[in-house]
Structure 1
Amino acid sequence: MMTSSDKMDNSMETEEESMESNEFEKTKISRMRTLVERQDPSSKEVDDFTFRRFLRARDLDVEKASAMFLKYLNWKRNFVPNGSISPSEVTHEIEQNKMFLQGSDKKGRPIAVLLAARHFQHKGGVEEFKRFIVYIFDKIFSRLPPGQEKFIIIGDLEGWGYANSDIRAYLGALSLVQDYYPERLEKLFVVHAPYIFMTAWKIVYPLIDHKTRKKIVFVENKRLKTTLLEEIDESQLPETLGGTLPLVPIHDS
């Protein structure tokens, strides 16, 4: 039987390990900052939290994380030259009224809800869809409380059919999440997934990296509310999923 003294010793060991880990990360961040700033002076404006996310995405490998971050800076300069995406750049996506932002989980992480059956290909194409993803992320990040860096997505596939299947858009979103917004997604709950969705899923799944795969949870219909309530209070769930909040379109949030 573990005594109170044993518990205290374990607690102290855990605290010491945590402190050592933080110091180790700080050293890595410092090395990464030096390496990146040498190649792109604009990175001097970037905070340590951002460097840490890219480091963790590459298992604290400074060289790999630096290459990933430099690629991100170049992409942002070209894809988001004005620093943000305006609603006028994603009009077709907004018209579909498929993305909502409301509430937060028990740790204060913002919750975004996607109604996937409302997504259809349009003349704006994949490029507008990718701009919409950036637009969404900026909205979500503006809702992050101090000390929090991650968010939750609930992807509701009720009514999804082949007309909604858009593999190029799915791959575009996946690339953005993995390459340019690492360590931002805490969890993606996939609910009401129809059997026919698995055809598209089999195409996308092999391209999802190991870290992202662990964040994707397919929720059984019979355990839907129970599973969501493990991490989200009922008062923060949308009415469509058994909660009390009305859906708020992300462009109105």
Structure 2
Amino acid sequence: MFGFGKKKDEKLWIFDADKPTVSKVFANPPADSQFKPELQDVENDEQKEKYEAMLKFLNDTESFPVTEKHDHDMACFKALNEEEKAWLSRQCLLRYLRACDWKLEDAKKRIVNSLAWRREFGVAGGEFNSLTADGVKPENETGKQMIFGYDTESRPCLYLFNGRQNTKTSFRQIQHLIYMLEMAIDYMPRGQDKLCLCVDFKKYPEYCTYESKVPALSVGKQVLGILQYHYPERLGRALFVNIPLIVWTFLKLCWPFVDDFTKQKVKFDEPFKLFIDPSQLPVNYGGDVNLAYDHDVYWDDFVKIADQKRAKMMKNYEKLGGGIGLSEYDLKEGI
């Protein structure tokens, strides 16, 4: 997304010559992690009643829109597929209810809109699975986005390296981000439903192949709107480092559109090592992992592991009898 005038022959990504190189994703948090994540549940009878009302509404609705703009034309409505039912877990419904401050009608409208958006965007599964690894693979040739390691609370870390840009601004860049976000959800361990977003604005000339400009405010608002509206309560922590003045200006313009809940999760220019154990953190940020992005090594392995995790989840879904409202803790058993 951003480029800042460094010579292409400079190598600014830090390695440790005495450590073995790592180019593959970590499939799970460290086995010796002392943190045991727990999924948030209802806290009182009123919340329980609203959850049950939301569950009944979804079960009683025979079909849902396939596009956000449908004008209630029933030709634009279809029944849920099994992957959508699995997505509509107990915790999913609760995330939408909490994001709407337990206003039931608002939460109903929002989750229906998200179902339509997911179908239209191609991440709903079944016939609505047009957003693929192969489709966005060219966007990640320089490793400008990477899921790597877990933070101290077992959240998968999604890195955005804005100084590794390789393509011009396009809709495919947004597709790439959403694809990686979906993959981060697949990489969440049992009991965890949030991710750690790590954004580094430093330019790495050895990886950057395209000099880009700060995206338009409209693009920033579009991406922010998608994340806040369709992925409620998925952000556990957001870390921004190496922020140049021009990006500070961009962030200040976007900041008013960030909800208060998200603002509480954001840290600016605080070292990643304060939130991520050295065993999970690249040497470049003071960790112990000698991370070197190799597209041919990383990408296929990364996708394969995510596919295996998702397939296991769907097997668990079938074993549990299927349907809406299953526990993500049960769905993630053995993953």
TM-score by length of 1: 0.79
CA separation in 1, counterparts of 2:198 and 2:284? 11
Per the alignment, do residues 32 and 61 of structure 1 end up closer, same or farther by CA in structure 2, a change over 3 Å counting? same
Preserved CA contact (<8 Å) 1:237 1:243: yes
Determine if the alignment matches structure 1 residue 51 to structure 2 residue 70: no
Point out the structure with the larger helix share: 1
> For residues 110-162 of structure 1, what are the alpha-carbon distances to aligned partners after superposition, in whole Å with 9 as ceiling and x for unaligned?
11111112236627x1x2122112210122112111111001011001139x9
Alpha-carbon separation, structure 2, partners of 1:140 and 1:61: 28
| Mapping of residues 117-156 of structure 1, within 5 Å | 117-119=163-165, 122=168, 125=170, 127-156=171-200
Counterpart for residue 188 of structure 1: 238
- Quote the residue 1:10 is aligned against: none
* 2:244 counterpart SS class: coil
Q: Residue 188 and residue 19 in structure 1: after superposition, are their counterparts in 2 closer, same or farther (change >3 A)?
A: closer
Does the CA-based 8 Å contact 2:121-2:131 persist in structure 1? no
1:197 match: 247
Task: List gaps (5 residues or longer) in structure 2.
Answer: 1-39, 65-78, 205-210, 303-335
Alignment partner, residue 106 of structure 2:
64
Q: What is the rounded CA distance, in whole Å, between the counterparts of 1:115 and 1:32 in structure 2?
A: 39
- Per-residue CA deviation, residues 216-246 of structure 1 (Å, 9 max, x unaligned), is 21025xxx2xxx3343211111121111221
Distance 2:130 2:265 in 1: 27
Q: Secondary structure at the match of 1:154?
A: strand
8 Å CA contact 1:129, 1:169 repeated in 2: no
User: Who is 1:165 aligned against?
Assistant: 214
**8 A Cα contact 2:121 2:130, kept in partner:** no
Paired with 1:83 and 1:27, the residues of 2 have a C-alpha distance of 33
- Of 299, 302, 315 in structure 2, the residue corresponding to residue 251 of structure 1 is 299
Letter in 1 for 2:48: K
Q: Distance in 2 between matches of 1:128 and 1:151?
A: 22
RMSD (Å) for aligned C-alpha atoms? 2.7
SS in structure 2 of the partner of residue 27 of structure 1:
helix
Is residue 241 of structure 2 the alignment partner of residue 219 of structure 1? Answer: no
- Is there any run of 5+ residues in structure 1 with no aligned partner, and where? 1-17
1:140 match: secondary structure: helix
Could you tell me which residue of structure 2 aligns to residue 3 of structure 1? none
- For normalisation by structure 2, the TM-score amounts to 0.61
Cα shift at 1:182: 0.8
Partner of 2:280: 236
SS of 2:143 mapped into structure 1: coil
Change (3 A) 1:215 1:84: farther
Q: CA deviation at 1:166?
A: 1.1
How far apart, in 2, do the equivalents of 1:233 and 1:131 lie? 30
Q: Which residue of 1 aligns with 2:157?
A: 111
